[in-house]
Amino acid sequence: MRSETGLAAPAPKWLALDRGTAPAARQQTFDSLGTPLRDVTFVVVDLETTGQAPGASAITEFGAVKVRGGEVLGEFQTLVNPGVPIPPMITVLTGITTAMVLPAPRIESVFPGFLEFAGFDRGSVLVAHNARFDVSFLKAAAADLGFPWPAPTVVDTLALARRALTRDEVPNHKLASLAHLFRTSVTPDHRALSDARATADVLHRLLERLAPFGLLHLEDLRTITDPVPPARRRKSTLADGVPHGPGVYQFIGPSGEVLYVGTATDLRTRVRSYFTAAEKRARIGEMVDLAVAVRTVPCESVLEAQVREVRLIAACDPQYNRRSRRPQRRPWVTLTREAYPRLTIARSLDVADLDTAWGPFGSHRQATEAVEAIQGLVPLRSCTLRLPRMPSPSARTCMAFEVGSCPGPCVGAVGAADYDHLVGRARRVLEGEVDELVDHLRERIGAFSAAERYEDALLVRERLRSALVGASRAERLRAWARVPQFVAARPAERDWEMVLVRHGRLAGTGRLAAGSDPAGALAVLRQSAEHVEPPRLVGAVTTAEETELVISWCQQPGVRLVELEGSAPPIALPIRGAHRWDLPPSG
Residue 129 among the catalytic residues: no
| Biggest CA pair distance of the chain | 95
For residue 43, the one-letter residue type is V
Cβ-count burial 541-559 (b if 16+ within 10 Å, e if not): bbbbbbbbbbbebbeeeee
* Closest alpha carbon to 225 in 303, 310, 162: 162
Catalytic residue among 190, 217, 421, 440: 190
Q: Which residues contact 306 (CB under 8 A, 6 or more apart)?
A: 263, 549
Q: How far apart are CA 97 and CA 91, in angstroms?
A: 6
Strand partners, 44: 65, 127
Query: Phi and psi dihedrals of 350, rounded to 5?
Result: -70, 145
Using CA atoms, how far residue 62 sits from 81, 159, 324, 455, in Å, is: 11, 22, 39, 24
Total number of residues shown for the chain: 587
Q: Which residues contact 235 (CB under 8 A, 6 or more apart)?
A: 275, 288, 289, 291
DSSP state letter for 381: -
Q: Is the backbone peptide bond immediately before 484 cis, with ω within 30 degrees of 0?
A: no
Using CA atoms, how far residue 231 sits from 213, 228, 276, 481, 528, in Å, is: 18, 8, 11, 47, 45
Query: Phi and psi dihedrals of 139, rounded to 5?
Result: -65, -40
Angle between helices 131-145 and 107-118 (to 10 degrees): 120
Strand partners, 14: 76
Q: Which residues contact 198 (CB under 8 A, 6 or more apart)?
A: 175, 179, 184, 186, 187, 188
Q: How far apart are CA 289 and CA 459, in angstroms?
A: 41
Using CA atoms, how far residue 441 sits from 90, 365, 465, in Å, is: 16, 18, 10
Q: How far apart are the first and last CA of the chain?
A: 25
CB-side exposure of 173: number of CA atoms within 13 Å?
18
Q: Which stretch of DSSP H or E encloses residue 286?
A: helix 282-290
Residues designated as active site: 190
